[in-house]
């Protein structure tokens, strides 16, 4: 409720709301266990992204065409991002194998044409394939409903046509939603979304087609906001991951179960010096592996759907 005072009279006005879920305080929530008796679920989100050459959106190593730094084609930033697909992602797979870590692959569907071997390598190790739009050179939030529905359908069809299961989860390119994105996701057969970072537990969201599970996706333990956005060094980012995990393990010991996600982009963490720091952070976190449920985001959704009503906010 917003109070507006005009000419000595106070008027009450309702703030706009999304109507997807109500406020729910952290304290007083039910306590239960993830599989293996754990109270902390940990998953890694690996973003495999492809960008249009000479146009569209893209993260920037240095000021480029998106921020007025120069005209297209922006070879510097395009090539930096492409390094992740050609080199960095393969190094990241080797690290995941070394540490026996599963991953949820957040896939731009154009990667199926651009780098099919990379997608196949993740699938071969049993990683989950989740939807992440067609390309990170576009945003859903600027589209008409019919165009957005087509984007989701196109991305999904490309994944299934390549022989992979219909994805259960979705992360919008640039975390960009329209007012109807959750509705369209359920209507297109999706069970969970990673777009909202408002909680440390899964939260049920209302849609016109049924419930959609919102699974926490990090905007702190995420290499783009940290390294590209805030200009943190890799040592600082690696320590952030360790501190985040250790603090959560302390919190959940006698408290509410949590989800911790780690978001990685191969063109960032796939650089050799960053890979060394990432390895060190993951090894330290995994020293307490027995206290966590190491999983995929899809496994979190499957488990949450079998919990008794009221176990998680709705």
Give the model confidence (pLDDT) of 180-190 as tens digits. 999 999 999 99
Burial class (CB in 10 A: 0-12, 13-18, 19+), 143: middle
Whether residue 67 lies inside any domain: the answer is yes
Across-strand partners of 47? 106
pLDDT tens digits, 248-280: 999 999 999 999 999 999 999 999 999 999 999
pLDDT band at 61 (very low <50, low <70, confident <90, very high): confident
Name residues whose C-beta falls within 8 Å of residue 57's C-beta, 6 or more positions apart in sequence: 51, 66, 136, 137, 138, 139, 173, 174
Q: Give whichever of 48-57, 72-81, 215-224 has the largest mean pLDDT.
A: 215-224
Kindly tell me the sign of the dihedral angle through the C-alpha atoms of 202, 106, 240, 250.
Answer: positive
Q: Is the pLDDT of residue 67 over 80?
A: no
pLDDT band at 15 (very low <50, low <70, confident <90, very high): confident
Whether residue 8 lies inside any domain: the answer is no
In this prediction, residue 213 carries a pLDDT of: 98
Q: How far apart are CA 69 and CA 46, in angstroms?
A: 29
In this prediction, residue 243 carries a pLDDT of: 98
How many domains, in total, are found in the chain? 1
Across-strand partners of 46? 105, 264
In this structure, are residues 107 and 129 in contact, taking their beta carbons and an 8 Å threshold? yes
Whether residue 29 lies inside any domain: the answer is no
Structural domain span for residue 197: 35-305
In this prediction, residue 12 carries a pLDDT of: 65
Whether residue 251 lies inside any domain: the answer is yes
Q: What percentage of the chain exceeds 70 in pLDDT? A: 98
pLDDT band at 58 (very low <50, low <70, confident <90, very high): confident
In this structure, are residues 84 and 268 in contact, taking their beta carbons and an 8 Å threshold? yes
Q: Is the pLDDT of residue 11 over 70?
A: no
**What average pLDDT is seen over the chain?**
95
Q: Is 7 left (phi over 0), alpha (psi -120 to 50) or beta?
A: left
pTM of the model: 0.94
Whether residue 1 lies inside any domain: the answer is no
Number of residues in the chain:
314
Provide the CATH number for the domain around residue 233: 3.20.20.370
Whether residue 313 lies inside any domain: the answer is no
Whether residue 16 lies inside any domain: the answer is no
Specify the DSSP class assigned to residue 206: E
Q: How far apart are CA 307 and CA 314, in angstroms?
A: 12
Q: Is the pLDDT of residue 1 over 60?
A: no
Whether residue 212 lies inside any domain: the answer is yes
Question: Among 6-20, 40-54, 159-173, where is mean pLDDT lowest?
Answer: 6-20
Mean of the pLDDT values across residues 139-159? 97
């Amino acid at each position: 409720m917003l109070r507006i005072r005009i000419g000595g009279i106070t008027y009450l006005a309702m703030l706009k709301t999304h109507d997807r879920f109500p406020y729910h305080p952290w304290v007083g929530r039910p306590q239960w266990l993830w599989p293996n008796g754990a109270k902390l679920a940990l998953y890694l989100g690996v973003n495999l992204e492809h960008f249009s050459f000479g146009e569209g959106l893209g993260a920037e190593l240095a000021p480029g065409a998106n921020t007025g730094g120069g005209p297209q084609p922006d070879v510097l930033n395009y090539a930096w991002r492409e390094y992740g697909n050609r080199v960095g992602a393969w190094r990241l797979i080797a690290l995941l194998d070394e540490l026996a870590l599963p991953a949820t692959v957040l896939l731009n569907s154009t990667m199926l044409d651009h780098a099919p071997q990379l997608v196949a390598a993740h699938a071969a190790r049993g990683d989950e394939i989740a939807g992440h739009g067609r390309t990170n050179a576009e945003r859903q939030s600027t589209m008409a409903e019919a165009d957005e529905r087509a984007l989701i359908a196109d991305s999904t069809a490309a994944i299934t046509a390549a022989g992979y299961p219909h994805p259960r989860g979705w992360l919008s390119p640039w975390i960009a939603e329209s007012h109807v994105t959750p509705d369209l996701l359920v209507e297109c057969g999706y069970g969970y979304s990673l777009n909202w970072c408002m909680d440390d537990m899964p939260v049920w969201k209302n849609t016109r087609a049924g419930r959609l599970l919102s699974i926490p996706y990090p905007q702190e333990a995420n290499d783009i906001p940290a390294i590209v956005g805030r200009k943190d060094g890799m040592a600082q980012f690696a320590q952030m991951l360790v501190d985040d995990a250790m603090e959560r393990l302390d919190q959940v010991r006698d408290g509410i179960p949590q989800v911790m996600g780690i978001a990685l982009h191969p063109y960032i963490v796939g650089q050799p010096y960053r890979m060394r720091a990432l390895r060190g952070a993951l090894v330290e976190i995994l020293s307490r592996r027995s206290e966590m449920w190491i999983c995929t985001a899809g496994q979190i959704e499957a488990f949450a759907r079998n919990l008794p009503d009221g176990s998680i906010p709705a």
